[in-house]
Amino acid sequence: MPEKSYDHHRIELKWMERWKDADFYKAEDFSPRPKYYLLEMLPYPSGTLHVGHIRNYTIGDTLARYKWMRGYNVLHPMGWDAFGLPAENAAIANKRHPRDWTLSNIAYMKQQHRRYGFSYDWDREISTCEPEYYRWNQWFFLKMLERGLAYRAKALVNWCPECATVLANEQVVDGCCWRHDTTRVEQRELDQWFLKITAYAEQLLNDISKLEGGWPERVLVMQRNWIGRSEGTEVDFRLADTGEPIRIFTTRVDTIFGATCLILAPEHPLTARLVGEADKAKLKQMIDERARRDPGDLVKEGFFTGHEAVNPYNGERIPIWVGNFVLMGYGTGAIMAVPAHDERDFEFCTRYGIAVRPVIRPADGPLAEAATMRGAFVDDGVCENSGEFSGLPSAEARRRMTEKAEREGFGKASVTYRIRDWGISRQRYWGTPIPGGALRFMRDCAGAGKGPSRGAPAERGNNRSGRVSAGPRARVREYVLPRLRAGRAARDRHHGHLHRLVLVFLPLLRSAQRPGAVRQRQDRALVPDRPVHRRRRARDPAPHLLAVFHQSDARPGVDPSRRACDAPVHSGYGHQGRGQDV
């Protein structure tokens, strides 16, 4: 009898249909069995699953099935990391709205997932571009804003003219955008939102010790270097012309009598004022060039500003330079250059013929001669040619010099970190919207003289053309979006696409906590303490969410001027254009 061939395509399709609507993999909300939660990384809906996805999800699927067979109540959900600039770029290229592009990719990739037979509980499916998910992002953001952990400020950022968006340092490759290898990245000063992770720098550093023995030592060293804690002294030099202070940070104040110039970062606020018109183009080129290169690959370059600063310890006037290797994000953005005792300063100063003056000698040796030095002496030693501090060991000199600065009011002991606050203003459009309530909160705080010290920024103007742009400073490509508007939302001054409606979180949570929470359709209640899992996609959820607004606003004691439905929390896209996005 001839052997029958195995038609895997027919057989797998048969069982896929059988399993599609089965309840094999649904987690029970209330079960006496032990619980096990398994979540793999959510895929980005780029269009299709590839072999890397399959490898990752096969591992997770194997573990989930093993736990099921061991008697666990397994929660194994799946969802979509659906926001991101690549989707926006793809939508522009294909002349489609990014939401349409993303949802079509999700539908296809979900079909692929089902074809592979992975053991997901699809009733728990989430998509990060849906308001019922990203409202929690916004809730966290507002809580951080209330606690002073989110703020808005101007900052120089890596800008890709092609993407028309901000890039992280890691997204700049050989001076070009990681997605457009022929587009040169430039620096622009833009209003940016930041999360204040520097508030936790010391705690982050201390808690690294809890990972010792479990994490590779090289990773722990990288983390410590990334945080970069430095103890030192802040000292105010003064501009010789005006007496204006120029604060520097140094870990080696014992070498300050050997300072032969002061160097500013190109982005330092004083730099633009000190640099003449002839050097403006050179300064811009320096800023852009540094954005395109890894700091370790920079050739140290600079130029003299034509101004001088006064050393507060000895009254000496020293030249003020601009140097491409000085970072605005570390210390104060200004350094004293001591070429005799710092390798970086030695390299820079010898290149430009700036004086080298040794002031620290080895404990068991003589002071070096500047003319014969082939490199900097960077170790601690004994101070020489340092006025009243001559003859002191370096450590003792640092202590006494810092005390003098504090006593006479031109400096203080200081701790600084290399870690910077996290800039989150990346997406041009297709990302979680910054809640409109954030701007109102900052304005209210500024008016009351409290809250975030950064002050209240001006709101970005509405774009009534129905086009998406990167803001008033950027001349970028634009594309027309559908003029989608909900009649109910429009009457309450919530213009824009229903799915981009931004919730006012506290009224929503308060109303959900009241007995008889407003329900979305017949089978979905808004529950405050857990996400709303989507058993089916609501075709038009916004009226139900607006009902929650009205319920919250109707409660006694609510100030009518602060009612959710009367507050323009977000200028959606379509009729009024786009507000602030992360």
Separation between Cα atoms, residue 354 and residue 319, nearest integer Å: 9
Separation between Cα atoms, residue 195 and residue 137, nearest integer Å: 13
Separation between Cα atoms, residue 297 and residue 234, nearest integer Å: 28
Outline where 81-238 has alpha helix (H).
85-93, 98-116, 131-146, 201-207, 217-227
Cα 205 to Cα 160, 201, 312, 416: the distances in Å are 33, 6, 34, 13
- Dihedrals φ, ψ of 320, to 5°? -105, 125
- Crossing angle of helices 436-448 and 131-146, in 10° steps, is 10
Is the Cβ–Cβ distance between 321 and 351 less than 8 Å? Answer: no
Instruction: Find tokens 């430095």 and name the residue.
Output: 230
Q: Which two tokens stand for residue 43?
A: 């895929």
Centre a 10 Å sphere on the Cβ of residue 293 and count the other Cβ atoms it contains. 14
- The angle at the Cα of 249, spanning 244 to 255, to the nearest 5 degrees, equals 105
- Dihedrals φ, ψ of 294, to 5°? -70, 140
One digit per residue, the tens of pLDDT, for the chain of length 582 reads 677 788 888 888 888 787 777 788 899 999 999 999 999 999 999 888 888 899 999 999 999 999 999 999 999 999 999 998 778 878 888 888 999 999 999 999 998 988 888 999 999 999 999 999 999 989 999 999 999 999 998 888 888 888 878 887 778 888 888 888 888 888 888 888 999 999 999 999 999 999 999 999 999 999 999 999 999 999 999 999 999 999 999 999 999 999 999 999 998 999 989 988 888 888 888 888 876 676 667 788 999 999 999 999 999 999 999 999 998 878 899 999 999 999 999 999 999 999 999 999 999 999 999 999 999 999 999 999 999 999 999 999 999 999 999 999 999 999 999 898 988 876 567 888 888 666 666 666 655 544 433 332 222 233 323 333 333 223 322 223 222 222 222 222 222 222 222 322 333 333 333 333 333 333 333 333 333 333 333 333 333 333 333 333 333 343 433 333 333 333 222 222 333 333
Cα 516 to Cα 40, 520, 529, 541: the distances in Å are 35, 12, 15, 19
Q: Which two tokens stand for residue 275?
A: 């640099």
* Phi and psi based region of residue 219 (left: phi greater than 0; alpha: psi -120 to 50; beta: remaining): alpha
Is pTM beyond 0.85 here?
Answer: no
Closest-CA residue to 167 (of 425, 375, 502, 395): 425
Domains and CATH numbers, the chain: 8-121 (3.40.50.620), 135-196+424-566 (no CATH), 229-417 (3.90.740.10)
Rounding to the nearest 10 degrees, give the CA dihedral for residues 289, 244, 332, 402: 140
The most distant pair of C-alpha atoms in the chain lies apart, rounded to whole Å, by 106
Separation between Cα atoms, residue 533 and residue 273, nearest integer Å: 56
